Structure 1
Amino acid sequence: MVTPANEAQREAWKSGGFPEVERVRPGLWSIPVPIPVNPLRYVLVYALELPGGVAIVDAGWNTDEAYGALAAGLGIAGYEVTDVKAVLVTHIHPDHYGLAGRIREVSGAWIGLHPADSRLLHGRYDETGIDALVARERGLLVRCGVPDLTLDELAGASMMIRHYVNMAAPDRLIEDDDRLGLPGWDLRAIWTPGHSPGHLCFVEQERRLLFSGDHVLPRITPIVAVHPQSAPNPLADYLESLAAVGKFDVDEVLPAHEYRFLELADRVDHVIAHHEERLAEIEAAVAAANGVTCWDTATRLKWSRPWETIPPFMRRAANNETLAHLVWLEARGRLRRVPGEPELWFAG
């Protein structure tokens, strides 16, 4: 259990409300931007004051409501969208990247993104690349043993959210350990793959702050899944980068969702322990069946709600997250996979 940095922000999350625009520290603002039809409800955009403007960490979904909320929040801080000089995107999921292009059109801001995520833009959001991505996802789901009746629905389940992105190529590729050069801020990029191949955190060591995106959240854990655009073993990447981030000596963590919190190292330890428990649960489930598909394994696990009540998009995420754990166990010789359609998993 971590300590919230602002109790009112935590209470807004718990109550299903919407937190206030907040001056976190001199020169730093937290602006909640709504996410449509999503249990996360909002993304926290952070505005960093610069001479003559602001830089923002993440942007929100590309909806008029989100744009209006961002503009209103910047107004409370004394700025307009036209004052945005830079958009530092932690990763390319729509609630973080979706508005970046629209903001650049209005303000001329530069957009920064890690190269590993930049390489995925065409296949994920361009009309000419999306059919191939859906076909690759369908093939992965076939190998996982997804039933024919739900196969096409699950393969295209994320198509609804791609319309919340104004696709824009980055102006700047941000590498691991890059210093961003924002006047008045010594902001350094930390490459933290796992939730996405190019996920970035930003650390400000003089102010003892970590902008953690989705990498470290106070209550929930980010989805780490195998999918057509993921790394081969994303859970291994995530756990390695999570441990690395946990070594930073900061006073406060500023995540993209829920609420700001203290005790970074404790939270990192808790998340690592959660995945160790999940790995043991999945290993035991495979050993009990000994010759089971990824899909059937996923249906036997404990989730936050009964499996039959999980909507299709989240069932696909659950399947692909289960696959990430299976792949991690396979890489360590604790499970083995027999190729086929579907693939079958056995105790190592």
Structure 2
Amino acid sequence: MMTDIEIAKQVTLAPIAEIASKLDIPADDLELYGKYKAKLPLSLIDEDKMKGKKLILVTAISPTPAGEGKTTVSIGLSDGLTRIGKKTAVVLREPSLGPVFGIKGGATGGGYSQVLPMEDINLHFNGDFNAVEKAHNLLAALIDNNLHFAKRNLGLDPRTIKWKRALDMNDRALRNIVVGLGGTGDGMPRQTGFDITAASEVMAILCLSESIEDLKTRLGNIYVGRTMDKRPIYARDLNAQGAMTTLLCEAIKPNLVQTIGRTPAIIHGGPFANIAQGTNTIFATKMGLSLADYVVTEAGFGSDLGAEKFFDIKCVKAGLKPNAVVMVATIRALKFHGGEAVADLKQENLDALRKGMENLEKHIENMRKFNVAPIVAVNRFLD
């Protein structure tokens, strides 16, 4: 049995212009990042063209630490729709380096249901995470600069500052740190820390914005902390929103790549579902619906997190409603929720499987409260 990377290496990628032509995107609209990646202009979003299009949400039961395959099923479903002649796009989140180098691994699917080029997407891709990180850390630098200079000081109480720094890496040694050491020229000593970039409020804001003006306003509304007299301070009080928006001017453009089945894949944004909304950008979803007849997308973690936030936050903000919901389940996860130990999940245990079905039933019940009847997809592992 070949590994995911061995399968990916055997694929001959199509030039990205050929993939774009499947969505009737003119070659002149592509901002090329090499032969197989491109950014797409926001001008391709057309609310009128979105009417009558089909949006399919892929979610899952409560996952195990390794994940249950929402991305894999999303890609496989989109390739299946393409195979039967439907004009389809799969719209996904960008991977974070934390999970990529952790137990969960990459986020480009698996087997023959992958988006490519896998290594590029899983690592630096087109620089969106780096831009989010820089915009986040710019605000952090402005905060400490404001504390340092008496003339510009807004009277911030350092004990109330909630804004940390960001880094797209699992580095527990940076969760809680002290900055400003080294003397009077190096800032005010205070305790702070780092969040992973996917947990940044800037990432959540990017994924909920609908225009560059909306993005700038939302960045200005970021809460920083309070003054000594309890007055709230926002990013706009530091005049941070303009520079932060400038750093994100390329990151707001969705990225176009392809699946192994040569289905167009729009990948953009990557907030975690347990901390933020866990969905790709509104830009990407609306662009997919403007260009394709069928759009397959996913929401992070189980339906109790990502899917509910998809309905309650993203759909409300963007005026969207999925036409179908796919609920991914695995025998592994069902046994896990039935009480089976992680080390024994590959062993047959029908009793644990039966008990674990209660988890699936509850997720189905929850989705029906949103007036959708989910279709259960059992993701089967070869082992």
Instruction: Provide the TM-score with structure 1 as the length reference.
Output: 0.27
Q: Does 1 or 2 have the higher relative contact order (CA < 8 Å, sep 6+)?
A: 2
Larger radius of gyration: 2
Instruction: Give the TM-score taking structure 2 as reference length.
Output: 0.26
